[in-house]
Amino acid sequence: MRVLVHDFSGHPFQAQLSRELARRGHDVTHSTCNAYVSGKGRLESAEGESITFETVGDGIVFDKSRFVQRLLLELRLGFELVRHVRRVRPDVALMSNVQIPTLVVFAAAMLVLRQPWVLWHQDVYSVAVRSFAGAKLSRSFRAVAVGFEVAERWTSRRAREIVVIAESFVPVHAGWGTADKVTVIANWAPLDEIVPCPRKNDWAVENELDDVDTILYSGTLGLKHDPALLVQLTAAVRERGREVRLVVVNEGPAVPVLRAEAAKLDVPLTLLPFQPYDRLPEVLASGDVLVVLLDQQAGAFSVPSKTLSYLCAGRPVVGLMPEENAASGLVRRAGGHVGRPDAASLPAAAAWVDQLLAEPGRRDDVGAEARDLAEQEFSLASCADRFESVLLRSAR
């Protein structure tokens, strides 16, 4: 079977799935979009691998602050994705993290071409946009939110099959009339690529973080996050008499927000750009505590993939996120701390971090629990079996 896996974001576990499908004898092309700036997975084929890696939309740069320009670029990207599919000529295509305008163009073209495709539904964008439109955006953007919901429902109906990442997505698809073709497959992270490393490692030494307690965040910071909470949490820990530094590995609009908040609260801050994927285990090991952020409005429809990477790295995790989110349950099971993403939850989170930093042995035990849970939950073979079945049904 010839398979095209397109993951707009370039995350690690989607690439791992493509590698496993190729290992099983399928002809796999894995493509990503370079216009999206984030930490990427291992997106080059190694010696002996039969998989092909490609990019779509080279030269396109999104400016998230300019809505109309971004919308036009996402529509343009849809046409480029269609050309990509026509060149690869897959038996079936799997689409992950594709923006709604791009997906509308793609789905319309696949309908005309009679090309089967599967939607890997990572986030219910219309629910998130509608929530933020009501809470943060102008009245005109509320109309945009309605348009997004219509578009997302329409594209879901065009997909041959749908893979969702949590049971919470199923009622949404029931309302859209697409629940009959939904399969639930939870996300995972690559256990063999993101492994526990010593706290004092080469990356920590290079960035002068080997001899200081650190609260670390690594990943995207966008609409579904409040970056100021990272600084405020660190400040709350420091108010308890603990010398601790905030480390954020990120690029984008959150950077000036972090700088301003750190200056206001007098919090030591290390800001670094996204690091090479092969150094991610060292990066995560350099955090005594790792933080996940997710706005309350995101609810149950967004599972932060960084949570899964944190567990693989074997580090204690603080989740400032909705309690109903699937990742919150994982953090608790790993011995971590979960609180609402607001200022009221910070004293309890700071007390937990302070206590953990005061007891290195307990910190290491919680980290070991996190890795144990990852090894229990993240079975690539099982996930690949289920994806293979979905893709084969769709190709027929």
Instruction: Kindly give the confidence (pLDDT) of every residue in the chain, 396 residues in length, as a single tens digit, with 9 standing for 90 and above.
Output: 999 999 998 999 999 999 999 999 999 999 999 877 777 888 998 888 999 999 998 877 766 667 778 888 899 999 999 999 999 999 999 999 999 999 999 999 999 999 999 999 998 876 666 655 555 555 666 677 788 889 999 999 999 999 999 888 999 999 999 999 999 999 999 999 999 999 999 999 999 999 999 999 998 886 567 899 999 999 999 999 999 999 999 988 889 999 999 999 999 999 999 999 999 999 999 999 999 998 876 666 677 788 999 999 999 999 999 888 888 999 999 999 999 999 999 999 999 999 999 999 999 999 999 999 999 999 899 999 999 999 999 998
Go through 278-305 and write b for each residue having 16 or more CB atoms within 10 A of its CB, e for each that does not. eebbbbbbbbbbbbbbbbbbbbbbbbbb
With contact defined as beta carbons under 8 Å apart, do 6 and 81 qualify? yes
- Position 51 scores a pLDDT of 96
What is the number of alpha carbons within 13 Å of residue 205 lying toward its C-beta?
Answer: 4
- Position 142 scores a pLDDT of 66
- Position 260 scores a pLDDT of 96
pTM recorded for the entire structure: 0.86
- Position 228 scores a pLDDT of 94
Q: Running DSSP on this structure, what letter comes out for residue 253?
A: T
- Position 129 scores a pLDDT of 62
- Position 327 scores a pLDDT of 87
Partners of 95 in beta bridges: 6, 119
Domains of the chain, each with CATH number or no CATH: 2-188+379-395 (3.40.50.2000), 202-377 (3.40.50.2000)
